[in-house]
A and B are shown apart, each in its own frame.
Chain A
Amino acid sequence: MSKKYHVTTSVNGDEYDFLCEPQQSLLDVLRDNLMLTGTKEGCATGDCGACSVMLDGRLVCSCLVIGVEAGGKKIETIEGMAKGDTLHPLQQKFLELNGLQCGICTPGILVAARALLEKNPDPSEMEVRYWLAGNLCRCTGYDKVIRAVMAAATEMRGA
Chain B
Amino acid sequence: MATILEKPGFNPDRQYKIVGTSPVKHDGFDKVTGRAKFAADAFLPGMLIGKVLRSPHPHAVLKSIDISKAVALPGVKAVITRDDFPEIKPGSGAGDMTRIAMAREKVYWEGHPVAAVAATSESIAKKALKLIDVQYELLPHVIDPVEAMKPDAPILHDYMRTKGAKGADAEKPTNVVERSVLAIGDVAAGFAEADFIVEHTYDTKPMHQGYIELQSCIANYSDDGQVDLWCCTQAPWVYRDRLTEILKIDSSKIRIQQSELGGGFGGKTTFYLEPLSIVLSRKAKCPVKMTLTRSEVLRATGPVSGTQSTIKMGCKKDGTIVAVDSNLIFQTGPYTGSAFTNAPQAMLTRYELKNVRTVSHEVVSNRPKVSSFRAPCVPQVVFGVEDCVSELARKVGMDEIDFRMKNAIVEGHKTIYGETFNRIGFVETLEAAKNCEHYKSPVPTGQGRGIACGFWFNRGGETTGTMNLAPDGTVNIILGTADVAGSRMSMSMMAAEEFGIPVDRVRSMLADTNSLGYNRVTAGSRTTFSSGMIVIDAARKIIAELCSRAAKIWNVPEEGVIFEDGHCRPASSNVGNFEPLSMKDIAAKTTYTMGAIAGHSEMNVTGAGPGFAVHIVDVEVDKETGLTSVKRYTIVEDAGKAISPLQVEGQYQGAAVQGIGWALNEEYIFGDDGRLQNPGFLDYRMPVASDVPMIDTVIVEVPNPKHPYGLRGVGEVPLTPAMGAIGNAIGNAIGIRPRSLPMTPAKVLALIEGGATSG
Partner of B29, one of A23, A31, A95, A145: A95
B33→A87 contact, CB < 8 A: yes
B interface, how many residues as a size bin? 35 or more
Q: Which of A84-119 contact B (CB under 8 A)?
A: 87, 91, 94-98, 100-107, 110
B262→A103 contact, CB < 8 A: yes
Check A129 for interface membership: any CB of B closer than 8 A: yes
Q: Which residues of B contact A130 (CB under 8 A)?
A: 689-690
Contact with A along B656-675 (1 / 0, CB 8 A): 11100000000000000000
Most buried by B among A79, A141, A146: A141
A98→B647 contact, CB < 8 A: yes
Partner of B41, one of A37, A47, A78: A37
Given A104-B213, A106-B32, residue A96 in contact with residue B681 (CB < 8 A): no
Q: Nearest chain B CB to A21's CB is how many angstroms away? A: 6
Q: Which residues of B contact A37 (CB under 8 A)?
A: 34, 37-38, 40-41
Q: Nearest chain A CB to B632's CB is how many angstroms away? A: 12
A140→B263 contact, CB < 8 A: no
Chain B residue with the shortest CB-CB distance to A142: B689
B650→A137 contact, CB < 8 A: no
Partner of B689, one of A82, A95, A146: A146
In Å, the complex CA distance between A50 and B210 comes to 13
Q: Which residues of A contact B654 (CB under 8 A)?
A: 101, 138-141
Given A98-B22, A144-B653, residue A103 in contact with residue B688 (CB < 8 A): no
In Å, the complex CA distance between A126 and B686 comes to 18
Check B24 for interface membership: any CB of A closer than 8 A: yes
In Å, the complex CA distance between A147 and B693 comes to 12
B646→A144 contact, CB < 8 A: yes
Contact with B along A128-157 (1 / 0, CB 8 A): 111011111111111111110000000000
Check A48 for interface membership: any CB of B closer than 8 A: yes
In Å, the complex CA distance between A153 and B263 comes to 28
Chain B residue with the shortest CB-CB distance to A108: B212
Q: Which residues of B contact A125 (CB under 8 A)?
A: 694
Count contacts on A: residues with CB < 8 A to the other chain. Answer: 61
A101→B681 contact, CB < 8 A: no
Q: Which of B103-128 contact A (CB under 8 A)?
A: 121, 123-124
Check A2 for interface membership: any CB of B closer than 8 A: yes
Partner of A101, one of B124, B294, B650, B656: B650
A42→B31 contact, CB < 8 A: no
Chain A residue with the shortest CB-CB distance to B660: A141
A136→B688 contact, CB < 8 A: yes
Given A42-B294, A138-B658, residue A104 in contact with residue B263 (CB < 8 A): yes
Given A23-B123, A45-B680, A103-B28, residue A141 in contact with residue B692 (CB < 8 A): yes
Q: Which of A1-45 contact B (CB under 8 A)?
A: 1-2, 21, 23, 31, 35-45
Chain A residue with the shortest CB-CB distance to B216: A41
B212→A40 contact, CB < 8 A: yes
Q: Which residues of B contact A47 (CB under 8 A)?
A: 294, 680-682
Q: Which residues of A contact B485 (CB under 8 A)?
A: 101-102, 139
B38→A104 contact, CB < 8 A: yes
B486→A42 contact, CB < 8 A: no
B28→A50 contact, CB < 8 A: no
Check A77 for interface membership: any CB of B closer than 8 A: yes
A103→B689 contact, CB < 8 A: no
Chain B residue with the shortest CB-CB distance to A127: B690
In Å, the complex CA distance between A5 and B265 comes to 41
In Å, the complex CA distance between A1 and B127 comes to 10
Q: Nearest chain B CB to A46's CB is how many angstroms away? A: 8
Check A64 for interface membership: any CB of B closer than 8 A: no
B32→A43 contact, CB < 8 A: no
In Å, the complex CA distance between A147 and B740 comes to 34
B33→A78 contact, CB < 8 A: yes
Q: Nearest chain A CB to B436's CB is how many angstroms away? A: 16
Most buried by A among B123, B263, B646, B692: B263
Chain A residue with the shortest CB-CB distance to B489: A98
Please count the residue pairs between chain A and chain B whose beta carbons lie under 8 angstroms apart in the complex: 188
Check A59 for interface membership: any CB of B closer than 8 A: no
Q: Which residues of A contact B261 (CB under 8 A)?
A: 102
A94→B212 contact, CB < 8 A: no
Check A81 for interface membership: any CB of B closer than 8 A: yes
Q: Nearest chain B CB to A26's CB is how many angstroms away? A: 15
A102→B689 contact, CB < 8 A: no
In Å, the complex CA distance between A8 and B650 comes to 42
In Å, the complex CA distance between A129 and B34 comes to 23
Partner of A141, one of B213, B680, B695: B695
Contact with B along A66-84 (1 / 0, CB 8 A): 0000000000011101100
Given A101-B485, A133-B690, A139-B654, residue A38 in contact with residue B212 (CB < 8 A): no
Check B260 for interface membership: any CB of A closer than 8 A: yes
B646→A94 contact, CB < 8 A: no
In Å, the complex CA distance between A77 and B680 comes to 25
Check B241 for interface membership: any CB of A closer than 8 A: no
Chain B residue with the shortest CB-CB distance to A94: B32
Partner of B212, one of A48, A81, A145: A48
Q: Nearest chain A CB to B378's CB is how many angstroms away? A: 19
A103→B31 contact, CB < 8 A: yes
Partner of B650, one of A35, A40, A140: A140
Q: Nearest chain A CB to B613's CB is how many angstroms away? A: 14
In Å, the complex CA distance between A47 and B295 comes to 12
In Å, the complex CA distance between A52 and B647 comes to 26
B34→A102 contact, CB < 8 A: no
Check B440 for interface membership: any CB of A closer than 8 A: no
Check B35 for interface membership: any CB of A closer than 8 A: yes
A91→B688 contact, CB < 8 A: no
In Å, the complex CA distance between A141 and B34 comes to 21
Q: Which of B669-711 contact A (CB under 8 A)?
A: 680-682, 686-692, 694-695
In Å, the complex CA distance between A85 and B750 comes to 58
Q: Which residues of A contact B32 (CB under 8 A)?
A: 87, 91, 94-95, 100, 103, 106-107, 110
Q: Nearest chain B CB to A134's CB is how many angstroms away? A: 7
Q: Nearest chain A CB to B525's CB is how many angstroms away? A: 15
Q: Which residues of B contact A36 (CB under 8 A)?
A: 34
Check B421 for interface membership: any CB of A closer than 8 A: no
Check B214 for interface membership: any CB of A closer than 8 A: yes
B43→A35 contact, CB < 8 A: yes
Q: Nearest chain B CB to A110's CB is how many angstroms away? A: 6
Q: Nearest chain B CB to A84's CB is how many angstroms away? A: 12
A143→B214 contact, CB < 8 A: no
Check B36 for interface membership: any CB of A closer than 8 A: yes
Given A42-B213, A104-B212, residue A144 in contact with residue B650 (CB < 8 A): yes
Given A47-B680, A104-B262, A145-B689, residue A42 in contact with residue B212 (CB < 8 A): yes
Given A43-B680, A104-B38, A142-B692, residue A50 in contact with residue B212 (CB < 8 A): yes
In Å, the complex CA distance between A101 and B124 comes to 36
Q: Nearest chain A CB to B759's CB is how many angstroms away? A: 27
Q: Nearest chain B CB to A79's CB is how many angstroms away? A: 5
B262→A48 contact, CB < 8 A: no
Q: Nearest chain A CB to B679's CB is how many angstroms away? A: 10
B690→A42 contact, CB < 8 A: no
In Å, the complex CA distance between A143 and B652 comes to 11
Contact with A along B392-426 (1 / 0, CB 8 A): 00000000000000000000000000000000000
Q: Which residues of A contact B (CB under 8 A)?
A: 1-2, 21, 23, 31, 35-45, 47-48, 50, 77-79, 81-82, 87, 91, 94-98, 100-107, 110, 125-126, 128-130, 132-147
Q: List 20 A-B contacts (CB under 8 A).
A: A31-B40, A37-B40, A38-B35, A39-B34, A43-B680, A45-B682, A47-B681, A94-B28, A96-B24, A98-B647, A102-B212, A102-B213, A103-B262, A106-B32, A129-B690, A138-B263, A138-B654, A139-B485, A139-B654, A144-B646
Counting from the closest, the 3 A-B pairs by CB-CB distance are: A38-B34, A104-B262, A103-B31
Given contacts A98-B646, A138-B263, 8 further A-B contacts (CB under 8 A): A23-B123, A37-B38, A40-B262, A42-B212, A48-B294, A98-B650, A102-B485, A126-B690
Q: Which residues of B contact A (CB under 8 A)?
A: 22, 24-25, 27-29, 31-38, 40-41, 43, 75, 121, 123-124, 209-214, 260-265, 291, 293-294, 484-486, 646-647, 649-650, 653-658, 680-682, 686-692, 694-695
